[in-house]
Amino acid sequence: DVKVTQSSRYLVKRTGEKVFLECVQDMDHENMFWYRQDPGLGLRLIYFSYDVKMKEKGDIPEGYSVSREKKERFSLILESASTNQTSMYLCASSFRDGSGGYTFGSGTRLTVV
Amino acid sequence: AQSVTQPDIHITVSEGASLELRCNYSYGATPYLFWYVQSPGQGLQLLLKYFSGDTLVQGIKGFEAEFKRSQSSFNLRKPSVHWSDAAEYFCAVGTMNTGFQKLVFGTGTRLLVSP
For the stretch A54-67, pLDDT in tens is 999 998 999 999 99
Q: What is the pLDDT of residue B101?
A: 73
Question: What are residue B68's phi and psi, to 5 degrees?
Answer: -125, 100
- Give how far B79 is from chain A: nearest CA, Å: 24
Q: Beta strands B109-114 and B10-14: pairing type?
A: parallel
Task: For B22-70, write each residue's pLDDT tens digit.
Answer: 999 988 777 889 999 999 878 899 999 998 888 999 999 999 999 999 9
Neighbours of A50 (CB within 10 A): 21
Contact A31 B94 (CB under 8 A): no
Using DSSP's 3-state secondary structure scheme, residue A100 falls into: coil
Amino acid at A72: E
| Residue A84: C-alpha distances to residues A62, A112, B49 (Å) | 12, 8, 34
Q: B102 vs A45: CB contact, 8 Å cut-off?
A: yes
| A1 at B interface, C-beta within 8 A | no
Name the residue among A45, A90, A101 with its Cβ closest to that of B34.
A101
Reply yes or no on whether the pLDDT at B100 is more than 70: no
Mean pLDDT of chain A: 93
Name the residue facing B106 among A42, A50, A96 (closest C-beta): A42
Best interface-test mutation with A: which of B4, B36, B103, B110 has the largest number of A CBs within 10 A? B103
Strand B87-97 and strand B109-114: pairing? antiparallel
Q: Residue B113: which residues within 8 A CB-CB, separation 6 or more? A: B12, B13, B14, B15, B81, B82, B83, B85, B86
